[in-house]
């Protein structure tokens, strides 16, 4: 669903105008710029994402009708409209198919991947540490 349609839904449910809710709904869907299909949702469409939304936008918002609405309600509405329920981040992460590069120690990682990840392209001994 497009952020504007989420905002229409919020205005219908909580009063005010769609513009009162657009920044929140755009924030949830910003990740579409990186991944233009449903997988973008892994970044914010979960319980932890709703709490991050609350941290970013504050605990409440006052709409143009003067009503104070908990920001969390807007985030919950967005996620439920897209997914039908509110998963945890763990629900998303446990569904990711692991690849070898995700868990290999840096010294065993392919040199091309090391370059992409900014890891020094040399063998690391147990006495050395990587400064991040």
Most distant CA atoms of the chain, gap in Å: 64
d(CA 92, CA 110) in angstroms, rounded, equals 27
Residue 75: which of 51, 57, 42, 50 has the closest Cα? 50
Q: In this structure, are 25 and 79 located in the same domain?
A: yes
Contact 31, 40 (CB under 8 A): yes
pLDDT in tens, 69-122: 999 999 999 999 999 999 999 999 888 888 777 776 655 556 776 677 676 666
d(CA 21, CA 3) in angstroms, rounded, equals 9
Q: In this structure, are 60 and 78 located in the same domain?
A: yes
Name the residue range of residue 120's domain. Answer: 99-132
Write down the pTM of the prediction: 0.75
pLDDT in tens, 10-34: 999 999 999 999 999 999 999 999 8
d(CA 70, CA 65) in angstroms, rounded, equals 15
Contact 22, 4 (CB under 8 A): yes
Given a cut of 60, whether residue 124 has pLDDT beyond it is no
Which has the higher per-residue pLDDT, 40 or 76? 76
Q: In this structure, are 70 and 33 located in the same domain?
A: yes
Q: In this structure, are 47 and 106 located in the same domain?
A: no
Q: What is the mean pLDDT of residues 35-64?
A: 94
Structural domain total, the chain: 2
Q: In this structure, are 33 and 55 located in the same domain?
A: yes
**Confidence tier at 132 by pLDDT (50, 70, 90):** very low
């Amino acid at each position: 669903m497009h952020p504007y349609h989420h905002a229409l839904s919020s205005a219908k449910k909580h009063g005010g105008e769609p513009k009162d809710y657009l920044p929140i709904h755009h924030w949830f869907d910003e990740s579409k710029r990186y991944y233009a299909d449903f997988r973008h949702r892994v970044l914010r469409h979960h319980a932890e994402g709703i709490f991050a939304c609350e941290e970013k936008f504050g605990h409440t918002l006052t709409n143009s009708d003067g009503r104070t609405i908990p920001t969390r309600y807007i985030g919950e509405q967005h996620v439920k409209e897209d997914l039908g329920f509110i998963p945890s981040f763990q629900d998303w992460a446990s569904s990711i198919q692991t690849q070898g590069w995700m868990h290999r120690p840096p010294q065993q990682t392919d040199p091309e991947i090391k370059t992409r990840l900014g890891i020094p392209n040399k063998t690391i001994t147990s006495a050395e540490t990587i400064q991040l």
